[in-house]
Amino acid sequence: MNFKEIVQPSSLEEAYEYLANHQKAVIIGGGVFLKLQKREAELGIDLSRLPLSYLKEDEKEHHIGSMTTLREIEISSILPQCMVESVRQIGGVGLRNMVTIGGSVCGKYPFSDINTALLSLGARLVFFKKGEISMERFLGENYVLNDILTSIVVPKVEYSTCRYFKHTYTDFSLVNLSVASGENVRIAVGARPGRSVVVPDINTGHTSEELLARIEFKDDIRGSGAYRRHIAEVMLTEILEEGLLWK
């Protein structure tokens, strides 16, 4: 993406003002995925001068600023395991030092590893104007943005883990899966190759085949839907056999 002009607002109000008053304004998070898109934009709104890069926690939840990089998530010692694991093979360290969690969420990338982890955790998104919306609803709907994601709220859980299958280290995932158990138990699957979804109506008696029966997997250039389903089943079986999900 090429920008005629890039502004670096020093407050969220100012950033939102630019967004509201320019039809062709684009928010820049890490800017790394935007760079790959062949488009022209009048105005880029660079969020990097705002205090949106942080990891905070209270008793029940983590609060992650939208400009927090995936590298900061990778080296965090407090975030849920599935989040930390999910980012470890997203490009190299240089890429992870630049790409943001906010850009990852707002891009709604179907191949996303981190979004599958966030879904399994029951994360909530906090937008500057529109307030809170669940990650599940945000990914499921064609929610028109025109707002600034300020933070992501992640409930603390007792146990979580994720799995992904890549042809080579740091490649895009062929399929990924994340589970978390706290107040609820949630299983999410992504790179199907469609966007990440939560597995519905789960219970302790189900095998991994039964759990994933209603999830849609499709063919694309990387692999067939049947292959993806099989890998997802194997990954989930491995997790179920560890015996930590349903305690």
Partner 1 sequence: MEIMLTINNQKRRLLIDPDEFLLDTLRKAGIKSVKRGCDTTSCGMCSISVDNKLVNSCSYYTIRAIGKEILTVEGIPEEAGLIADFITAEGAEQCGFCSPGLVMAIHTMKNDLDDFSLESIKHYLAGNFCRCSGYEGQHRAILKYLEVK
Ligand X SMILES: Cc1cc2nc3c(=O)[nH]c(=O)nc-3n(C[C@H](O)[C@H](O)[C@H](O)COP(=O)(O)OP(=O)(O)OC[C@H]3O[C@@H](n4cnc5c(N)ncnc54)[C@H](O)[C@@H]3O)c2cc1C
For ligand X, the closer CB: 112 or 240: 112
CA distances from 59 to 62, 109, 121 (A): 9, 31, 16
Q: Does 104 sit near ligand X (CB under 6 A)?
A: yes
Asked whether 118 and 79 are in contact (CB, 8 A), the reply is no
**Structure tokens belonging to residue 150:** 């300020």
Q: Does 77 sit near partner 1 (CB under 8 A)?
A: no
Asked whether 162 and 177 are in contact (CB, 8 A), the reply is yes
Binding partner of 114, given partner 1, ligand X, none, CB within 5-8 angstroms per partner class:
ligand X
Q: Does 27 sit near ligand X (CB under 6 A)?
A: yes
CA distances from 118 to 19, 61, 127 (A): 26, 13, 16
Asked whether 211 and 177 are in contact (CB, 8 A), the reply is no
Q: Does 81 sit near partner 1 (CB under 8 A)?
A: no
Q: Does 32 sit near ligand X (CB under 6 A)?
A: yes
Compute the CA torsion angle 91, 85, 114, 123 (nearest 10 deg): -160
Least distance (Å) from ligand X to the CB of residue 182?
23
For partner 1, the closer CB: 170 or 224: 170
Asked whether 140 and 125 are in contact (CB, 8 A), the reply is no
For partner 1, the closer CB: 71 or 229: 71
- Can you tell me which of 55, 95, 133, 244 binds partner 1, judged by CB under 8 A? 95
Q: Does 169 sit near partner 1 (CB under 8 A)?
A: yes
- Can you tell me which of 29, 80, 122, 193 binds ligand X, judged by CB under 6 A? 29
Of the candidate spans 87-95, 103-111, 126-134, 212-220, the one that interacts with partner 1 by CB under 8 A turns out to be 87-95
- Can you tell me which of 92, 213, 226, 246 binds partner 1, judged by CB under 8 A? 92
Burial 39-62 (b: 16+ CB within 10 A, else e): eebebbbbbeebebbebeeeeeeb
SS3 percent helix, strand, coil of the chain, rounded to 5, is: 30, 30, 40
Positions in the binding site for ligand X (CB under 6 A) = 26-34, 47, 66, 70, 90-91, 95, 99-100, 102-104, 106-107, 109, 111-114, 145, 148-149, 172-173
